[in-house]
Amino acid sequence: MKKILSIMCFVLLFFVPISGWTVPLQDLFNGQSLLVGDKLFFNWNLIDLVVTNPIYEPNFANIEVLPLNDQALNPGIKFEANGQLTVADQNFLYLKFGFYVATLDSMLPIKGNSLKIVDFSFSGSGGVIAITEDVFKTSGLLLASKLVEADQRYGIFSSCIYRMDR
């Protein structure tokens, strides 16, 4: 009976959202979710990965997703790439993934967000880092888009573009 309970506990823990500690991105792609404050980050999926040289293919088990719950009314997540999104020479890495965010407290809706790029460096040949975000209605209609980028070629190191459709 003890073995069955252990297995049942493991199965329950696997499907219950993780709260309060680091989760590897691979675990999130495998169906895990992350609970930060009253916000549930779930349904993670890898949409596209293009790498010009296989030696630069990221290991998603080494990319950490950390909860940011230092502000009770503003929970969020942070990604620690741990060297997994690094390329050299004329190579590039294109990574596109998606996830959903839902609030578990109807009194604390999601009113806004922020995107930041920190702790990056470019070699002498330059580089570009860009993070884009699209927010959709449940019907699939695009509500807003945001872009944050660091582009050494054009001297852009923090830019946001918002577009609102109603």
Residue 11 covered by a domain: no
The model's pTM: 0.76
pLDDT band at 163 (very low <50, low <70, confident <90, very high): low
In a domain, 4, yes or no: no
Task: Read off the pLDDT of residues 56-82 as tens digits, 9 standing for 90 and up.
Answer: 999 999 999 999 877 766 788 999 999
Residue 26 lies in a domain: yes
Interatomic CA distance for residues 160 and 133, integer angstroms: 10
For 82, the domain range is 19-164
The distance in angstroms from the start CA to the end CA of the chain is 57
C-alpha span between 60 and 4 (Å, rounded): 31
Q: How far apart are CA 60 and CA 29, in angstroms?
A: 9
Average pLDDT (14-37) is 81
What pLDDT, in 10s, does the model give residues 109-118? 777 777 777 7
